[in-house]
Structure 1
Amino acid sequence: MPAQSNIARPYAQALFELAQEQKDLAGWAERLQLLAVVASDKTLINLARDPRISSAQLAELIVDVCSDKLNDGGKNLVKLLVRNGRVNAMGDIAQAYVVLKAEAEKVVAANMITAAPINESQQKQFAEALQSRLGRSVNLEFEVDEELIGGAVIRAGDWVVDGSVKAQLEQLVGALSA
């Protein structure tokens, strides 16, 4: 069975191209996030597996749950995914779409984990420095993890900088053990 990301990628690419044509990147992102949430509901997952529920019934249920938040394109997407047995890929499609949208908008999502809270001024400085380093707009989220002891870990896509005291101690232990 192919990985979900391999299944999701072509759907996300087609939806992204459609959204670009319609000049509605944000609208499609919202619709896909909604569909991802609906598709992850345990009751819906069980209904999708129930052989007594037809594809048409399942698609109608999903469209009804989403009510007026889906346009005709969104409703057609639901019918297509249900008919192809891909309801379980909705979350992966939404994630792949968000990546395509971020690349097109030159925005990267980043996460900074610090050992202690940092103030708003410091957060702004880190966001500006990261934006300068990556050459893109950055949506930087901040978290606190006291297990880091000190320092910080920054993740932006595949790029990771681990400047935590915990990582340095682990490197030292590794060097002493070798």
Structure 2
Amino acid sequence: MSQPLTLARPYARAAFALSRGDGPDQAGRTEQWSHALAFAARVAADPQVHALLGHPQLAPGDAVTLLAADGSDETFARFLTLLADNRRLSLLPEIAGLFQELRADADRVVKARVTTAGELPAAELESIRMALRQRFGREVEIETAIDESLIGGALIDAGDVVIDGSLKGKLARLRTALAN
């Protein structure tokens, strides 16, 4: 069986294309689709709902009613119906995640996770944001995390780029260099 992300990718791209639409009346639909997909993904990820979605006697219309948030547009309901017809509703969490990545890319935003041994002052966090903005040429959204095992420094994960400036990482590289 193929990986869930591989199966979800074409659906996420299709959802993103549908959400972008054409014309001035389509403004804001990407955000609406983002919220609708996030809601559907949360519902589909629930263990009881997940088991129900796999049941062969569940009608596609019933599945769409279960997963569509109040106020979802007709196009979104048709998208969910397509997923139900193809037995792909279980992929909704992956589809929603990939949709968010496509949206961030279109909005020219890079999401970065900064992990440090302790709390970073706001000024240092802003300095990291500015350096990443200069490196990527895009706006940067930063999420912070604390991992005391890093000892000091920071580990920055921004998509395909990982910058390990932690003392733990430096010690590991030094250990490898000394072993060779």
Structure 2 residue 50 is matched with structure 1 residue 45? yes
For residues 104-137 of structure 1, the C-alpha deviation after alignment (integer angstroms, 9 at most, x for no partner) is 1100100111112111122112111211111100
Structure 2 CA distance, aligned partners of 1:55 and 1:71? 17
Structure 2 CA distance, aligned partners of 1:164 and 1:37? 34
Question: Which residue pairs with 1:103 in the alignment?
Answer: 105
User: What is the Cα deviation at residue 165 of structure 1?
Assistant: 0.5
Question: Which residue pairs with 1:123 in the alignment?
Answer: 125
SS at match of 2:16: helix
Q: Which amino acid aligns with 1:174?
A: T
**In the comparison of the two structures, how many residue pairs are matched?**
175
Question: Which residue pairs with 2:32 in the alignment?
Answer: 27
User: What is the Cα deviation at residue 69 of structure 1?
Assistant: 4.0
Task: Indicate conservation of the 8 Å contact 1:29/1:94, yes or no.
Answer: yes
Question: Does the C-alpha gap of structure 1 residues 144 and 174 become closer, same or farther in structure 2, counting only changes over 3 Å?
Answer: same
Structure 1 CA distance, aligned partners of 2:72 and 2:144? 32
Structure 2 CA distance, aligned partners of 1:34 and 1:61? 11
Structure 1 CA distance, aligned partners of 2:164 and 2:94? 28
How do 1:137-152 and structure 2 match up within 5 A? 137-152=139-154
Task: Indicate conservation of the 8 Å contact 2:15/2:79, yes or no.
Answer: no
Q: Of 84, 87, 91, which residue of structure 2 is paired with 1:85?
A: 87
Question: Which residue pairs with 1:71 in the alignment?
Answer: 73
Task: Indicate conservation of the 8 Å contact 1:31/1:69, yes or no.
Answer: no
User: What is the Cα deviation at residue 175 of structure 1?
Assistant: 2.3
Structure 2 CA distance, aligned partners of 1:139 and 1:83? 37
Structure 1 CA distance, aligned partners of 2:91 and 2:137? 32
Task: Indicate conservation of the 8 Å contact 1:32/1:90, yes or no.
Answer: yes
User: What is the Cα deviation at residue 143 of structure 1?
Assistant: 1.4
Q: Of 171, 174, 177, which residue of structure 1 is paired with 2:173?
A: 171
For residues 58-106 of structure 1, the C-alpha deviation after alignment (integer angstroms, 9 at most, x for no partner) is 333333xx3x142212221221111110011111111111111111110
Q: Percent identity over the alignment?
A: 35
Structure 1 unaligned segments of length 5 or more: list them: none
Structure 2 unaligned segments of length 5 or more: list them: none
Question: Does the C-alpha gap of structure 1 residues 62 and 27 become closer, same or farther in structure 2, counting only changes over 3 Å?
Answer: closer
Question: Which residue pairs with 1:6 in the alignment?
Answer: 6
TM-score (norm 2): 0.90
**After the TM superposition, which of the residue ranges 104-113 and 21-30 deviates more from structure 2?**
21-30
Backbone CA RMSD of aligned residues: 1.5
Structure 1 CA distance, aligned partners of 2:159 and 2:150? 21
SS at match of 1:36: helix
